[in-house]
Chain A
Amino acid sequence: MAEQTVADSNDAAGRPVGRRIVLGMLGLGVLGVAFGDHLQSIESAFLRPLEERDPTGLSALIPAGDTFRFYSITGDEPERTSSDYQLTVDGLVDRPATLSLDDLNAMPQTTMIKDFQCVTGWRVPQVHWSGVALPDLLDHVGVQKGATALQFTSFDGAYTESLTLEQARRRDVLVATQMLGGAVSRAHGGPVRLYVAPMYGYKSCKWLGGIKVTSRVTPGFWEQNGYDVDAWVGKSNGRGDAPTS
């Protein structure tokens, strides 16, 4: 007994199962990278009905779940109430303006129901949006000759975004005051945020504080960190998602 057990104990006996576990996991990981997008769409389709009826919000913790995830690049969640909110529109415009939420609500309203697609993979289907179409706002202030681009700033003091003037003239780009059937919540970037329907979510600047009309495109925060400036859903950032608009 003693002899046999000493041989066992000398762990040089036995088979290199540990190595097989490590290599096996690595193999599964590689397969997952190659084919995971199929598995993910199957999983999303399966989870969607569950998430739509989930009052707890816990389903957001399931990978590949189709619910909003909260992103902010600053430590604070900026706070502006509907009464002290101001949107500054300046740069190459005829009538620079500082607009309150009431001013925005008094302008012609545009409503649409469209998906929100994040560049990291999650997508919230059929979100209800409404507010002032950006081309209507641009007509309100009057764009001057030589203008080619817009720069958006967030009142979080750090986030920036950009669009070309041509992109900004699309009817599916909104200065959104309503989202998901109510006022835009603070976490979703309220009281006023941008919604650029045909592009990835990082273009839809939250806590919108300023719009400057400029003569050239200034890449926004994530674009200075490697994301594409022209962020068309399905045609940028190396992704093949179905178009959102």
Chain B
Amino acid sequence: MPRPAELLRFAAAERWVHRVTAVLMGVCLVTAAILYVGPLAQAIGYRAIVEWVHVIAGLSLPVPLIVGLLSKALRDDVSRLNRFTPSDWKWLRSKDFRATRSEVGKFNAGQKLNANFQLGAILVMMLTGSVMRFANHWPISWRTGATFVHDWAAYAILAVVVGHIYMALRDPHALAGMRTGHVPTSWAAREHALWAAENGVDEPAPARRVAR
């Protein structure tokens, strides 16, 4: 059977969920910086409006994902991201990810960690952010605790988002996969061998032989 030149990696629904979530997360990070970093706050001002935008963007963060769950493709990928196989632990422990490449499914362990971290982070930020914003409804000290968590978690999210973008920019095919939905079959066979096999691409890509 001739190999198709490209495989469909992400359905339109998934790409839109990713896009809208990314924009909302970007708005949260930028407004957070304006609220938090003195010189930026000084240069921009409009604190009440910036705060309002930050809260609205933050509370909206899970909406695209929830709407997207109507899509079967997205539900399938959510369940793939949820499951860690023994190969994933091997991947995480390995120094050279190439060594475990042939055992990678649609998502590698790093991508699974990123996705789950972001979901957990969104929920934690919404929880602590709500305690901060609607402070009068909670007992004394909760707001301080929530601020403490919100502040430190923001730095963790910033680090992971920067890492995520850095990894994507290093791999044009991965980037195009999220932008257009399609990836070259040879790339899939190399980077996500088991997923390529699921799609009827059995033979290892030539590039992988070279790498070995």
Contacts and interface: CB of A to CB of B under 8 A. Distances in A.
Genuine A/B complex: yes
B197 A121 contact: no
A238 B138 contact: yes
Contacts, number: 178
A69 B41 contact: yes
Interface string A17-46: 111011111101110111111011001000
A112 interface: no
Contact of B83 (A13, A26, A77): A13
A29 B128 contact: yes
B86 interface: yes
Contacts of B145: 32-37, 39-40
Interface in B45-70: 45-48
B120 A22 contact: yes
A237 B135 contact: yes
Contacts of A82: none
B86 A21 contact: no
A49 interface: no
Contacts of B123: 22, 25-26, 29
B144 A29 contact: no
Contacts of A2: 197, 202
B88 A14 contact: yes
Contacts of A75: 44-46
B207 interface: no
Nearest to B77: A11
Interface residues of B, number: 63
A1 B105 CA distance: 15
A2 B87 CA distance: 14
A2 B39 CA distance: 58
Nearest to A9: B194
A225 interface: yes
B45 A73 contact: yes
Nearest to B42: A70
A61 interface: yes
A15 B132 CA distance: 35
A143 interface: no
Nearest to A156: B45
A120 interface: yes
B141 A240 contact: yes
A64 B148 contact: yes
A83 interface: no
B80 A11 contact: yes
Contact of B128 (A12, A33, A121): A33
Contact of B46 (A25, A74, A240): A74
B116 interface: yes
Interface in B179-205: 193-195, 197-198, 202
Interface stretch (B4-12, B22-30, B149-157, B164-172): B149-157
8 shortest A-B CB distances, which residue pairs? A36-B145, A9-B194, A63-B151, A25-B120, A36-B148, A32-B149, A29-B124, A18-B82
Interface of B: 36-39, 41-42, 44-48, 79-88, 102-103, 105-107, 112-113, 115-117, 119-121, 123-124, 127-128, 131, 135-136, 138-149, 151-153, 155, 193-195, 197-198, 202
Given A8-B194, A33-B149, 5 more contacts: A14-B86, A15-B83, A26-B127, A40-B145, A238-B140
20 contacts: A5-B102, A8-B105, A11-B107, A15-B83, A16-B83, A25-B121, A33-B145, A36-B145, A36-B147, A39-B148, A43-B148, A63-B148, A64-B148, A70-B41, A71-B47, A72-B42, A72-B47, A75-B45, A187-B42, A238-B138
